[in-house]
Amino acid sequence: MASNRFGELFTITTWGESHGKAIGVVIDGCPAGVALDEAMINEELERRAPGRSPHTSPRKERDQAEILSGVFEGRTTGTPISIMIRNSDPDSSKYEPIKHLLRPGHGNYTYLEKYGMFDYRGGGRASARETACRVAAGAVAKQLLKMEEIFVVAYIKQIEENRVEHLPSDFHKLLHAVRSSKLSIPCAQTEDAVIATLERARAEGDSLGGLVEFQIHGAPVGLGDPIYQKLEARLAAGMMSIPASKGFEIGSGFSAVQMAGSENNDIYSRTGEEVRTESNHAGGILAGISTGMPIVGRVAFKPTSSIKKTQSTLDLKGEEAQFTLPEGSRHDPCLALRAPAIVEAMAALTVADSLLMNRSARI
Ligand X SMILES: Cc1cc2nc3c(=O)[nH]c(=O)nc-3n(C[C@H](O)[C@H](O)[C@H](O)COP(=O)(O)O)c2cc1C
Q: Which range, of 9-17, 37-45, 157-165, 239-247, touches ligand X by CB under 6 A?
A: 239-247
Dihedral of alpha carbons 280, 184, 129, 31, sign? positive
Nearer to ligand X, 70 or 243 (CB): 243
Binding to ligand X, residues 76-105 (CB under 6 A): 105
Q: Which range, of 32-40, 79-87, 122-130, 161-169, touches ligand X by CB under 6 A?
A: 122-130
- DSSP letters, 48-71, are HSTTSSTTS--------EEEEESE
Strands (E), the chain: 5-6, 11-16, 22-28, 65-69, 71-72, 75-76, 81-86, 151-159, 162-163, 210-217, 245-250, 268-271, 274-277, 285-286, 289-290, 295-301, 311-314, 320-323
**For residue 21, which of 66, 52, 51 has the smallest C-alpha distance?**
66
State which of residues 133, 164, 236, 335 lies at the interface with ligand X (CB under 6 A): 335
State which of residues 7, 224, 243, 251 lies at the interface with ligand X (CB under 6 A): 243
Beta bridge partners of 323: 311
Q: Which range, of 62-70, 185-193, 268-276, 330-338, touches ligand X by CB under 6 A?
A: 330-338
State which of residues 216, 338, 351, 358 lies at the interface with ligand X (CB under 6 A): 338
- Print the binding letters for residues 255-294 with ligand X: x by CB under 6 A, - otherwise: ----------------------------------------
57 near ligand X, judged by CB under 6 A: yes
339 near ligand X, judged by CB under 6 A: yes
Nearer to ligand X, 106 or 217 (CB): 106
Nearer to ligand X, 53 or 280 (CB): 53
**All residues at 6 or more sequence positions from 44 whose CB lies less than 8 Å from its CB, including other chains:** 135, 136, 138, 139, 142, 341, 344, 345
Query: What residues make contact with ligand X under the rule CB under 6 A?
Result: 57, 105-107, 123, 126, 128, 131, 242-244, 302, 304-306, 331-332, 335, 338-339, 342
